Amino acid sequence: MSGATDRSGMTTDEIDRGFAALEALIRTNAEAIGAEAERVRQDEAALLARMAATAARIVPIAGLEVMARGKVDGSGELFDQAFFPEKMLLLARGEPMPFRPDDASKSVADQFCVLRPDGTFAELMYSNDTVLVDSYLAPLSAEDALGVYGPELILMLYRALRQYLEGQEALLSALRTTLEYVHG
C-alpha cells in the first residue's frame, strides 16, 4: 500500500479516493437537485393554479370589497370611494414598482396580489397624490405571481380556505344548536 497511514489504519491514497468519490457524488447530486428544483417550481405554479380554481368559489362570499379609487380630504381621510364590482381575496403585499404600467407618470404606493372570483390572479397597484387615490388592476399568471410574491402565496391561499372552512364549521354548529333548542 502506498501513502502514509493515519491512526485509523487508512492510507492517504484510500482517503484521497474516498474524498474524490464523495466529491463526485456531491456534483452528481447538485445537478439532480437543480433539475428537481426546476420541476418543483413548475409544479408549484400548477398547484397554485389548481388551488386558485378551487378557492374561486369562496371569493364572492369570503372576499373583500376592494377600493378602485377615492378622494382624500384635507385631513387625509378618504371619501367618495368607488369599489371594484367583484370581491377579491387579498393574498400578498409586494414591494411597489416605481411606476404603474398603464401610466408611467404615476408612482405606485402599494402593490398587492389578489385572487379574483374567476380563479385568476391579478396585481393591484394603488397610486395617490394629494387629492386622489386610484388603482390599476392587471392579470397575473400563477407563474408570474409566484415569481413576484413567492411561494408564500400557496400558504396564504391555503389559510384563506382553512379560515373559510372554520367559519362554515362554526356556523353549522350554531345552526344545529339553534335547531336543538327550537325542537327541544
- This prediction has a pTM of 0.72
- Which pLDDT value is given to residue 51? 93
- Does any domain span residue 12? no
- Does any domain span residue 11? no
3-59 pLDDT, tens digit per residue, is: 666 676 778 888 888 888 888 888 887 787 777 767 767 789 999 999 999 999 999
- Does any domain span residue 36? no
- Does any domain span residue 101? yes
- Does any domain span residue 85? yes
Domain count, the chain: 1
Range of the domain at 167: 55-182
Q: Alpha-carbon distance 63 to 38, whole Å?
A: 32
Largest CA distance in the chain: 92
Q: What percent of the chain has pLDDT over 90?
A: 58
- Residue 121 and residue 147 in contact, taking contact as beta carbons nearer than 8 Å: no
Strands 132-140 and 121-128: antiparallel
Alpha helices in the chain (DSSP H): 12-55, 59-62, 142-149, 152-182
Q: Alpha-carbon distance 144 to 73, whole Å?
A: 36
Whole-angstrom distance between the N-terminal and C-terminal Cα of the chain? 91
